[in-house]
Amino acid sequence: MSAGPEIVRAFKIPIARREVLRLLGAGGREDGLAETTRRMVEEAERLGRELAAPQGVYRILEPPETGRLGPLRDERQAGLAICTIGPELEQKVRQLMSTGYEPEGYVLDAVGSVAAEAAADVVNAKICHWAEAHGLQATPRFSPGYGDWSLEEQRQIFRLLPAGEVGMSLNPSCMMIPRKSVSFAVRFTEQTGPAPSGNPCERCGLVNCPFRKEKKKAETETP
């Protein structure tokens, strides 16, 4: 039987400037940025940290729940999650756009997208550590609307998870509200080889997790 949902609230998220700049078309690099642009990005990051209120919910599914989602129908267990940074940032974006501050609104919107993905990474990390505790390894997360996973299956995801408890809903087009939200699933594989000592992150497929523990320098240096 599948495990009940776990709510994740009041957690901090990093806002990676390189990701903000990548979304803005700057190739993820600050080289060559005008000083006015740099200050605009810094202010948007400050606002983003102030306005984002990340929270999410995840659940470990087993049959028959896995059979209700196309990509998971053959899985014995899988992780399913939704998360959001809340509505305040996108409300501020709309305000900026409607009052003649389009560049500032555009930059803040990019910050919101990066923040939403960072929130998903935090919730995903919870799933990765659950997997480690159960002798499994989590594969990288994937979301509806990409590849062969139909966006319409968002409806099923929102039936399986208590979206209202984290302030989320779907519109008739299966787009999430608030807009800066992420839904995703995670498959599990059996661990192979000896278990790493003291570092569950070595078993996790989430490469860009903000909580990933690095190996000690001595372990990575070559003689």
DSSP 142: B
Instruction: Using alpha carbons, select from 7, 135, 153 the residue that is nearest to residue 81.
Output: 7
Helix axes 102-133, 35-51, angle to 10 degrees: 50
Q: Is residue 87 part of a domain?
A: yes
Mean pLDDT of 171-188: 97
> Could you tell me if residue 112 is inside a domain?
yes
In a domain, 57, yes or no: yes
Q: What percent of the chain has pLDDT over 90?
A: 76
- Decide which of 208 and 4 is more confident: 4
Domain with 148, as residue range(s), is: 6-220
Residue 137 lies in a domain: yes
Examine residue 171 and state whether it is found in any structural domain, yes or no.
Answer: yes
**pTM for this one?**
0.85
Question: Mind listing the pLDDT tens digit for each residue in 77-136?
Answer: 999 999 999 999 999 999 999 999 999 999 999 999 999 999 999 999 999 999 999 999
Amino acid at residue number 206: L
Count how many Cα atoms sit within 13 Å of the Cα of residue 10 in the half-sphere of its side chain: 0
> Is 203 contained in some domain?
yes
Mean pLDDT (the chain, rounded): 87
CB 201 within 8 A of CB 124: no
Q: How far apart are CA 82 and CA 10, in angstroms?
A: 15
Q: What are phi and psi of 185, to 5 degrees?
A: -130, 160
Q: Is residue 186 part of a domain?
A: yes
Domain count, the chain: 1
* CATH number of the domain that residue 209 is part of: 3.40.109.40
Mean pLDDT of all residues in 172-181: 97
In a domain, 1, yes or no: no
Give the residue carrying structure tokens 């409300």.
91
